[in-house]
C-alpha cells in the first residue's frame, strides 16, 4: 500500500466524524494556525519557537530580543492563514487570492511590495535554477491561474496541491515571502478538497528543499509529491489522536 492510499484510508476514518463544528472546529483551526505559522516561518529562518509563536498570537505578548521583522512575520502569517481559511468552501484559487495572501503576510514588513509582483531579478541561494525575469512574471502567473482552472480535476487533490506549490515557488513572483505563500496556497488547495494541512517541520527542511530542487532542475515532481503526501498522512494521524478517532486495525480494513 502506497502513501497516498494510506492517506485515503485515514481520510475515510476522519470523514465519519465530519463535519467538524463548534468548539472542535475552533480548536482545530487554532491548533494549525499556530503550527503552520511556526513551521513555515521556521523553514525561512525565523527564530520564534512554537511556544513563542503561541504566546504572540494568543496573548499578544512579544518576545524580548527578537527582531521586529520576525514578530511581523508571525503576525502577518497568521493573518494570511485566517484569509486562507475564509476561502476553504470555494473550489477556486485566483491571482487576486494569491496577492491577498502575500499582502496580508508582508504588509507590515514592506508595504510597497506587499501583494505586488517583483520588479527585479532574483537569485535563490542553494540552487542553480534560473527564475523567470520580472517581465515574464505576470504572464507566468496568468498561466498558473489558467492551469488551476483547467487541470485541477485531472489530479488527485494531494498531488494537485503539491504541484501547485512547485509551480508557484518556481515562478517566485514576489520579492520575498514566496515560500510561505506557496505553503499557504498548497494548504488552501488541500482544505478546499477536504484534506488536512501539510505541515513541513523544520527538521525536514533539507528533504523539502532538495525535493523542490529536483523538480526545478530535473523536472521530476515525484519526490516532492511523496514528501507532501507523507506530511498530509502525519496530519491525519495527529488529528485522529487529538480527537480520539479509532485507527483502522489493519491498513486494509477500510478497503473491504
Cα gap 13→234, rounded to integer Å = 14
CA proximity to 4, closest of 166, 155, 182, 179: 155
**Catalytic annotation, pick one of 77, 165, 172, 227:** 172
CA proximity to 81, closest of 49, 28, 18, 34: 34
Q: Phi-psi bin for 244: left (phi > 0), alpha (psi -120 to 50), beta? A: left
Grid look-up 535554477 returns 129
Per-residue burial over 15-32, b if 16 or more Cβ lie within 10 Å, else e, is eeeeeeeeeeeeebeeeb
Cα gap 173→140, rounded to integer Å = 9
48 is catalytic: no
Burial class (CB in 10 A: 0-12, 13-18, 19+), 125: exposed
Classify residue 155 by its DSSP letter: S
For the annotated catalytic residues, the residue numbers are 172
Amino acid at each position: 500500500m502506497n502513501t497516498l492510499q494510506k492517506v485515503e484510508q485515514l481520510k475515510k476514518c476522519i470523514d465519519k466524524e465530519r463535519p467538524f463544528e463548534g468548539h472542535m472546529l475552533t480548536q482545530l483551526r487554532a491548533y494549525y494556525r499556530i503550527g503552520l505559522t511556526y513551521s513555515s516561518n521556521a523553514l525561512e529562518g525565523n527564530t520564534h519557537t512554537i511556544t513563542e509563536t503561541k504566546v504572540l498570537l494568543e496573548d499578544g505578548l512579544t518576545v524580548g530580543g527578537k527582531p521586529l521583522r520576525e514578530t511581523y512575520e508571525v503576525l502577518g502569517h497568521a493573518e494570511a492563514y485566517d484569509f486562507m481559511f475564509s476561502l476553504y468552501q470555494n473550489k477556486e484559487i485566483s491571482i487576486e487570492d494569491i496577492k491577498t495572501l502575500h499582502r496580508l503576510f508582508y504588509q507590515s514588513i514592506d508595504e510597497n511590495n506587499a501583494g505586488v509582483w517583483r520588479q527585479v531579478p532574483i537569485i535563490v541561494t542553494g540552487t542553480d535554477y534560473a527564475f523567470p525575469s520580472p517581465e515574464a512574471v505576470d504572464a507566468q502567473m496568468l498561466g498558473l491561474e489558467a492551469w488551476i482552472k483547467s487541470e485541477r480535476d485531472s489530479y488527485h487533490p494531494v498531488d494537485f496541491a503539491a504541484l501547485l506549490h512547485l509551480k508557484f515557488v518556481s515562478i517566485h513572483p514576489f520579492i520575498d515571502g514566496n515560500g510561505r505563500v506557496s505553503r499557504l496556497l498548497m494548504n488552501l488547495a488541500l482544505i478546499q478538497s477536504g484534506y488536512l494541512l501539510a505541515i513541513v517541520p523544520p527538521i525536514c527542511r533539507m528533504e523539502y528543499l532538495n525535493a523542490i530542487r529536483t523538480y526545478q532542475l530535473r523536472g521530476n515532481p515525484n519526490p516532492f509529491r511523496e514528501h507532501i503526501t507523507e506530511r498530509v498522512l502525519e496530519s491525519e494521524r495527529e488529528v485522529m489522536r487529538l480527537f480520539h478517532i479509532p485507527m483502522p486495525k489493519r491498513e486494509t480494513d477500510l478497503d473491504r
